[in-house]
Amino acid sequence: READFERVVNELAFEIQVGLWHDLEFHINIPIVLGDSRDLTFSSGDGGTVTRENSAIDPADDLIQDDLNDQGFFDTYRYFELEGGNQGPTRSGFGDLSFGLSWAPFNSERQPHLATLALGFDYVAPTAPVARASNTSPGRGVHEIQFSIAASRRFAIVDPYFGMLYALPIATSDSLFADHGGGQEMQSPGMRGEILGGVEFIVWERPEEEQVITVDVGLDFGYQAAGRDYSPISDALMSSSCGGTTPGEVSLMLDGTPYEPAASVPVNSAACAWITQQTSSRIVNPAADPEDELYTHDGITTQDAYITMGGHVGVNAQISPYVELRIGTTFTTETERFITAARTGVDRDNDGEVDFTDPNERNPVYNPTMDSVGNRFRIEGVLNIDWHATLAFQF
């Protein structure tokens, strides 16, 4: 393992729910991101301490020079800095607003022989500025359509429930999820599905005063489809010192052949040649020679699908008919997956291979230094912990 990643998000959300008709509700959620910080450091776990002397992400200058001196295939790249830690910008501000409808065609309070069934439709609007290297905004840059269904039925002092959600993100025109044409196989983040189930235990109740205390325990499962998205290395790639590199500086051929620089190429230039091997990273300048065009990484990578598993526990207290307090925690793990996994492209002439010199076949977001077998970034050992407290006023 090369690096450790930590992300801390503090968010304050305001939600307004309005009853429109019997069991029909309109709701709107306004999130305010107080702080979203990310930190990458060299790993110091059970596999030993990683330093620049043995790193494949931020190698020492002498390792880069040794590779140059070998006068062959070069692969000692410095993707981004890890020595001393790589702290991305603390992102904050208004998040992406969401609103939707919830309808309960069956309600056990009015129909005791039936379970309560709720159907939901929500839309997450891209109201926050898109997160880029040049700002500290928290926006993702997608329209997201969500459909949900949930059911519950109380039996004495237990109230079991079950729910499912499907989410489809659609990239906005000004997002970083661009369609670069050619052999690009993915553009937007993948769709998402979630399933949860649990039981609320009624530990104390005074019905005549509309007061109740419950303990909520449940399990959570999710599936995130493959797609292009932000990742733990996004901010590091955006802020890499290699941004602004040109093919001419690194003596890189633009025909897709392996990088074999001369020993005279400066260490820092050779170490940054990785960024010029992804054609979508090029800042197009029609007036410039192709070897003089600047390359910079937008932080978006093609990622594998993965599964999330976890649970949640909480305490809910209906203090009065007008005030409710909820506190709880959710913890989830994620299956291991590659977070740089773009395919080489599309074999349009059916000759059995992708021609890197043909822009109609080569995937412009494919970077052989990060996406090819043996070079991909992999994430493992993920643990997400969420603490939340909610104060609700009902009128």
pLDDT at res. 109: 87
Q: Residue 191 is which amino acid?
A: M
pLDDT at res. 5: 97
Residue 342 has pLDDT above 80, yes or no: yes
Q: Within 158-305, where are the H helices?
A: 234-238, 247-250, 267-271
pLDDT at res. 47: 67
Confidence of residue 148 (pLDDT cuts 50, 70, 90): very high
Cα 187 to Cα 173: distance, rounded to the nearest angstrom? 11
The mean pLDDT value for 103-130 works out to 95
Cα 81 to Cα 58: distance, rounded to the nearest angstrom? 6
Q: Residue 264 is which amino acid?
A: S
Residues 6+ apart with CB under 8 A from 201: 157, 158, 159, 214, 215, 216, 217
Tell me the per-residue pLDDT of 163-195, one tens digit each, with 9 for 90 and over: 999 999 999 999 999 999 999 999 999 999 999
Q: Where are the beta strands (DSSP E) in the chain?
A: 3-21, 24-42, 86-87, 91-94, 98-106, 116-124, 142-152, 158-171, 192-206, 211-224, 227-229, 301-303, 306-320, 323-334, 337-338, 378-379, 382-393
Q: What are phi and psi of 25, to 5 degrees?
A: -125, 140
Do 94 and 30 touch, CB atoms closer than 8 A? yes
Classify 263 as helix, strand or coil: coil
Higher pLDDT, 356 or 77: 77
Tell me the per-residue pLDDT of 207-246, one tens digit each, with 9 for 90 and over: 999 999 999 999 999 999 999 999 999 999 999 999 999 9
Cα 277 to Cα 99: distance, rounded to the nearest angstrom? 42
Residue 48 has pLDDT above 80, yes or no: no
Point out the least confidently predicted range of 7-16, 295-304, 350-359, 381-390.
350-359
The mean pLDDT value for 24-31 works out to 98
Q: How far is CA 12 from CA 33, 385, 389, in A?
A: 6, 16, 10
Q: Name the nearest CA neighbour of 332 among 261, 381, 278.
A: 381
Percent of the chain with pLDDT over 90: 88
Do 168 and 193 touch, CB atoms closer than 8 A? no
Residues 6+ apart with CB under 8 A from 173: none
The mean pLDDT value for 302-308 works out to 98
What's the token pair of residue 295?
């390359």
pLDDT at res. 72: 86
Q: How far is CA 138 from CA 39, 61, 126, 303, in A?
A: 16, 35, 10, 20
The mean pLDDT value for 112-124 works out to 96
pLDDT at res. 386: 98
Do 392 and 324 touch, CB atoms closer than 8 A? yes
The mean pLDDT value for 335-348 works out to 96
Quick one: how many helices (H) and strands (E) in the chain? 5, 17
Confidence of residue 62 (pLDDT cuts 50, 70, 90): very high
Confidence of residue 94 (pLDDT cuts 50, 70, 90): very high
Tell me the per-residue pLDDT of 245-292, one tens digit each, with 9 for 90 and over: 999 999 887 777 788 888 889 999 999 999 999 999 999 888 888 889
Do 88 and 38 touch, CB atoms closer than 8 A? yes
Burial class from Cβ neighbours inside 10 Å (0-12, 13-18, 19+) for residue 359 reads middle
- Stated length of the chain: 395
HSE-CB at 6 with a 13 A cutoff on CA atoms is 8
Percent of the chain with pLDDT over 70: 99
pLDDT at res. 253: 77
Q: Name the nearest CA neighbour of 125 among 149, 153, 97, 106.
A: 97
Tokens 């190429």, residue?
265
373 DSSP 8-state letter: T
Q: Name the nearest CA neighbour of 379 among 295, 279, 301, 313.
A: 301
Residue 348 has pLDDT above 70, yes or no: yes
pLDDT at res. 257: 77
